[in-house]
Structure 1
């Protein structure tokens, strides 16, 4: 007798089930790797166009003669003097040394139960992956999770 249930049962037997501590360690490692990715400034910010580069990316001399001086927009200054999150936190700590500030802001735990969201689509979720503990809302999201996300970051 071969049905959809038996195929799933065979597939689930071959999968490793993690305990709560391993799940938390895996989630912490994933967050740390995301933080490392977000911390760095743009590596291409200081690149200068080569003089031999195609003129497609540079202004033509005729246009420069017509407009002797280009006015810089506020967007130019926003991009040029952009700050990353640690710089903004440091600036906030200097400007507001006494609490309340960003680093000292806290609140009590909510009296409402925690809301759970699908890791795939973001809708409200009812189900939990038995292997890694990630939440999903439907069969389609479960299949997507198992194909692409489950145990992507192993401890």
Structure 2
């Protein structure tokens, strides 16, 4: 009688396995890439409406010019700040603690909670090559197809 073995465990020896330092470096690079993709200026902020817009109102009425006042929401969207700018502004505004840079919490008494890197549900399993967490066979398939070892170490 032959014993069956897991294909995942058998393939694990063929793949490269990352150490903790490489995993942390890869996670930091992934977060930096997300931060760069996350914030961008409005591409339509500098567009100017054309003066040659057709007028559909009756020509007998004399148009009254009324200057529009721009709301505070306009300036919030136009001059958005990045997270780094907000932290720096907070540190300059309130140099004495407590501020964002001085806030600390002691370590938790409870064990770490692990969440799936694909869907975010609680996970019980770890990818052998890269150390990412997954919760099911479906998430493992997604992880192997799109995420596993895609970031350069």
User: What's the TM-score once normalised by structure 1's chain length?
Assistant: 0.75
Distance (Å, rounded) in 2 between the aligned partners of 1:116 and 1:44: 38
Matches within 5 A, 1:1-150: 8=8, 11-38=11-38, 41-42=40-41, 44=43, 47-49=46-48, 51=50, 65=63, 68-150=66-148
Instruction: Report the CA distance between 1:123 and its aligned residue.
Output: 0.4
Q: How many angstroms does 1:86 deviate by?
A: 1.9
Contact 2:118 2:142 in 1 (8 A): yes
Report the RMSD for the aligned CA atoms in angstroms: 3.0
For structure 2, the 5+ residue unaligned runs are 58-62
Judged with a 3 Å threshold, the aligned counterparts in structure 2 of structure 1 residues 106 and 6 are, in CA distance, closer, same or farther, namely closer
Give CA-to-partner distance per residue, 1:75-131, whole Å, 9 cap, x none. Answer: 212212322222211221122110111111111100010100000000000000001
Bigger Cα Rg: 2
User: 2:130 touches 2:149 (CA, 8 Å); kept in 1?
Assistant: yes
Whole-Å Cα distance in 2 between the matches of residues 10 and 132 of structure 1? Answer: 16
Q: Distance in 2 between matches of 1:15 and 1:121?
A: 24
- Normalization by structure 2: what TM-score? 0.76
User: How far apart in 2 are the matches of 1:89 and 1:98?
Assistant: 14
- Structure 1: tracts of 5 or more residues without a match: none
Q: How many residues align?
A: 145
Find the aligned partners of 1:121 and 1:22 in 2 and give their Cα distance. 23
